[in-house]
Amino acid sequence: MNDKPKIYEFTSMQRLSQRLRDDLNSQDFILLYAYNGTGKTRLSMEFKEAGKREEDIARDTLYFNAYTEDLFHWDNDLANDAERVLQINSDSNFFNAFKELGLPPIH
C-alpha cells in the first residue's frame, strides 16, 4: 500500500473544473484551499461557468472570491490545531437580505 498522495496535473482551468464536476458525481461537496495567487478565483469562476453550460443540472455552485471574503473567515485554531470554525460576519450588509426575507438571524 502506498501512502503517498497522487498528484494530478491539469493543462487548463477548464480541465480541472471538469474533473471537479466529475468528482461531484460521488461527493456531496468539494472544499478547496490554496495560497493567495494560485488561481482559486479563476477556478471558481470557470467551475461556475461550466455549470451554466450544462443544460440538465440545477445551479450548484457556492464559490469564494474577494467579494465573499468579507462575509466569512476561518478561525483555524493554529495554536492547538484542534478546532476549526467558519465565522460568519453577521454585520455585513449582505446578510440584510436574509432579514428582509424573514429568515432566521445568522450567528
Do residues 30 and 20 lie in contact, with contact meaning Cβ atoms separated by under 8 Å? yes
Residue 64 has a pLDDT of 55
Q: Which residues in the chain show pLDDT less than 50? A: none
* Nine-digit cell string for 48: 461556475
Phi-psi region of 4 (alpha: psi -120 to 50; beta: other; left: phi over 0): beta
Residue 48 has a pLDDT of 81
* Nine-digit cell string for 31: 472544499
CA nearest to 70, candidates 86, 92, 85, 96: 92
C-alpha pair distances (Å), 15 with each of 46, 65, 74, 82: 10, 20, 29, 35
Residue 32 has a pLDDT of 75
Residue 11 has a pLDDT of 93
β partners of residue 74: 86
Residue 35 has a pLDDT of 79
Kindly give the pairing relationship between strand 85-88 and strand 72-75.
Answer: antiparallel
Flag whether the pTM goes above 0.85.
no
